[in-house]
A and B are shown apart, each in its own frame.
Chain A
Amino acid sequence: MGSLDAVHKTLAEEGFLATRLDTFVNWGRKNSLWPMPLGLSCCGIEMMAMVGPRYDIARFGAEALRFSPRQADLLIVAGTLTWKMAEVARTIYDQMPDPKWVISMGVCASTGGMYDTYSVVQGVDMILPVDIYVPGCPPRPDAVIDGMLKLQKRIELERPVKNLMEDRSADNEWIEGHGEMIRQENQAVPQHDPSAGVASDESR
């Protein structure tokens, strides 16, 4: 929104109150993410280090780790997801209340990584929508914190009130199997899909 025209346009379309309210709601949401740590393997240890004394994610308001999905709004999938575990992960995701976001931590969760074997899911995006991918094997805690900050920026761009007013929940629906689609066609995710995964969000 560089020029003043854009501001007028936004105000005309959405109204001053809705935009202000969106900002307020997003401010609240992004600064109090409650992560549900799905620590599956090695990355789980680095996730513990992230909570630990040195990296201390309390600085970013995300220290309230909830082991019950019903109390969490951020799912951190940390580690290798197997097909046997996939049912559990999907159930956990389904049990989380909206709005919810997903961070895929580590290459195993993002693409299957080095485990191109008979039992490993080749990317958690085959079963869940993912917002942020954090690379690394395992990623250093700083990298995950960076991913979390990127997610906060992304949450700022959401329009919760406007979606509520216009009932645009359909826009938030995840495209079935889009993870496979990305891999197979190697093309960008459609721009209008807010829950589709992209690594960098600054372009929006």
Chain B
Amino acid sequence: MSPEDSKLAADTIEYRPGQMAEPADHDDPLHGAQVELNIGPSHPATHGVLRLKVLADGEVLTRIEPVIGYLHRGKEKACESLGWRKFFVHTDRLDYLQPMLNNVGYAMALEKLAHLEVPERAQVIRVLMMETNRIMSHLIALGVSAMDLGAISMFFFTFDQREKIYDLIDAYTGHRMNNTYIRMGGVYADLEEELERHFSAFFDNFIEQVDEWESLLTGNRIWYERNRGIGAITAEQALSWGLTGPNLRGSGVAYDLRKSEPYCGYEDYDFEIPIGERGDAFDRYLVRIEELRQSARICTQALERLKSSRGANVIADDRRYVLPRLSDVTSSMEELIHQFKIVTDMSLPRGEAYMGVESSKGELGFYIASDGTAAPLRCHLRSPSLMNVQVIPFLAEGKLLSDVVAVLGSVDFVMGEVDR
């Protein structure tokens, strides 16, 4: 290697995607020379359009800077222009691995502002859908992070189960993803009895599947070595960085909004909060695996409750916010006018409200401020994925390039929610 060839990039080169580094003059190229690299925004290991600007000293990454915004779709602005109701479809596409969970979060923020009560059966259906969506999201997190570390078969196993959940959700809502089935005041339609049986049948076998995956990964030497001790974070640090959800629980803090600030009747369900000890990638993986089992447990209980409340109302009976029945709209002029009024200018009382729900990534929060008109004054989305991306430099700086892939998989983020 000639001295000219080995002259490496200086620290300050401005990078643009698709361009190679221009070699710059450097006095001592072989010692301490750092190369600026660009991972993403289109890279299989970044799970979306995340871009990492890294400074590499050999295989060690000394500095990492996430660059985000490649999927910034202006949702908060859209909410201000679309109005309260029409924003529902945008919430699905926030964290598109768990569309209904986002729906519920937004619906509950609106209900909190409007002081609207949700019927019992709707709450149970919401819990069932939220937990099913949490499972779907964890399956992706598990399958994709394992695939990044070389266990490609995990991706196929988890996707197989996801397809089964998709079938169930498809039968209920009519679409595989982005369902928009939760409404302010309840859910759009009731869950049919036959479908309940299909859901039960799925969850009966699901825990066995989780055991099988665990037998593939948890005791696997490669998986263990690649994850143990990687990206460790203590409880205090995790709190300071704003981590919530499985990432915080992996560090040993038993904090779960479903327990500490129960909503949708979660206080009546019997489930446990798994926590880790060391806060590394392996503990986060263990927490997610256990959450799959706990979610399946909650779903089984929810299905049991649905049996006793068949035929009950699934949407609140409040004419201010809830659309009239379709059969009434087609037969009565007043109802038609009423529907038109709700769709075009449904307004919420003046004030502000915050609702945080426990999503699969952490606390998903909706802060809404209303000035009493048909469109919000402000709708801020508190995104757990943004916090998870924010902590990546802290977790991965000074580590090997291959460990960064493990960290990215273990913190679990979705770019739709990061960029909003």
Residues of A within 8 A of B (CB): 38-42, 44-46, 48-49, 52-54, 67, 79-80, 82, 84-85, 87-88, 91-92, 94-95, 114-115, 117-120, 137-138, 140
Known: A42-B96, A91-B18, A92-B42. 4 other contacts (CB 8 A): A41-B71, A46-B176, A80-B71, A138-B177
The minimal Cβ–Cβ distance linking A41 to chain B, given in whole angstroms, is 5
Which one of A44, A46, A49, A54 contacts B48 once the chains associate, using CB atoms below 8 Å?
Answer: A44
Task: State the CA gap A49–B96 with chains docked (Å).
Answer: 14
Provided the pairs A45-B140, A67-B43 are in contact, do residues A52 and B159 lie with their beta carbons within 8 angstroms? yes
The verdict on B385 contacting chain A, using a C-beta distance below 8 Å, is no
Task: State the CA gap A95–B155 with chains docked (Å).
Answer: 29
Q: Are B160 and A54 in contact (CB under 8 A)?
A: yes
The A-contacting residues of B in range 378-420, CB under 8 angstroms, are 415-416
The minimal Cβ–Cβ distance linking A190 to chain B, given in whole angstroms, is 31
Q: Are B177 and A85 in contact (CB under 8 A)?
A: no
Q: Which residues of chain A are near B49, meaning CB under 8 Å?
A: 40, 85, 88
Q: Are B41 and A88 in contact (CB under 8 A)?
A: yes
Provided the pairs A38-B42, A54-B160, A54-B163 are in contact, do residues A45 and B97 lie with their beta carbons within 8 angstroms? yes
Q: Are B72 and A82 in contact (CB under 8 A)?
A: yes
Which one of A44, A54, A117 contacts B73 once the chains associate, using CB atoms below 8 Å?
Answer: A117
The verdict on B32 contacting chain A, using a C-beta distance below 8 Å, is no
A-B contact pairs, 6 of them (CB 8 A): A38-B42, A40-B49, A48-B159, A53-B156, A67-B42, A91-B18
The verdict on B162 contacting chain A, using a C-beta distance below 8 Å, is yes
Q: Are A85 and B41 in contact (CB under 8 A)?
A: yes
Provided the pairs A46-B177, A67-B43 are in contact, do residues A88 and B18 lie with their beta carbons within 8 angstroms? yes
Q: Are A88 and B70 in contact (CB under 8 A)?
A: yes
Q: Are B73 and A80 in contact (CB under 8 A)?
A: yes
Q: Which residues of chain B are near A54, meaning CB under 8 Å?
A: 159-160, 163
Q: Which residues of chain B are near A118, meaning CB under 8 Å?
A: 74, 77
| Residue on A nearest B70 in the bound complex, by CB | A85
Q: Are B178 and A88 in contact (CB under 8 A)?
A: no
The minimal Cβ–Cβ distance linking B66 to chain A, given in whole angstroms, is 14
Task: State the CA gap A41–B419 with chains docked (Å).
Answer: 11
Task: State the CA gap A94–B51 with chains docked (Å).
Answer: 20
Q: Are A52 and B163 in contact (CB under 8 A)?
A: yes
The minimal Cβ–Cβ distance linking B283 to chain A, given in whole angstroms, is 26
- Against A, the Cβ 8 Å flags (1 = close, 0 = not) of B161-183 are 01100100000000011100000
Q: Which residues of chain A are near B416, meaning CB under 8 Å?
A: 41-42
Provided the pairs A41-B48, A138-B178 are in contact, do residues A119 and B42 lie with their beta carbons within 8 angstroms? no
| Residue on A nearest B67 in the bound complex, by CB | A84
Q: Which residues of chain B are near A120, meaning CB under 8 Å?
A: 73-74
Which one of A49, A52, A94, A117 contacts B77 once the chains associate, using CB atoms below 8 Å?
Answer: A117
| Residue on A nearest B170 in the bound complex, by CB | A140
For A41, A80, A87, which residue has the most chain B Cβ atoms within 10 angstroms?
A: A41
Q: Which residues of chain A are near B17, meaning CB under 8 Å?
A: 87-88, 91
The minimal Cβ–Cβ distance linking B19 to chain A, given in whole angstroms, is 8
Task: State the CA gap A88–B69 with chains docked (Å).
Answer: 13
| Residue on B nearest A118 in the bound complex, by CB | B74
Q: Are B176 and A114 in contact (CB under 8 A)?
A: no
The minimal Cβ–Cβ distance linking B388 to chain A, given in whole angstroms, is 17
Q: Which residues of chain B are near A82, meaning CB under 8 Å?
A: 69-73
Task: State the CA gap A85–B419 with chains docked (Å).
Answer: 12
Provided the pairs A41-B96, A85-B49, A140-B176 are in contact, do residues A52 and B160 lie with their beta carbons within 8 angstroms? yes
Task: State the CA gap A80–B18 with chains docked (Å).
Answer: 20
Q: Which residues of chain B are near A114, meaning CB under 8 Å?
A: 89-90
Q: Are B74 and A117 in contact (CB under 8 A)?
A: yes
Task: State the CA gap A145–B209 with chains docked (Å).
Answer: 29
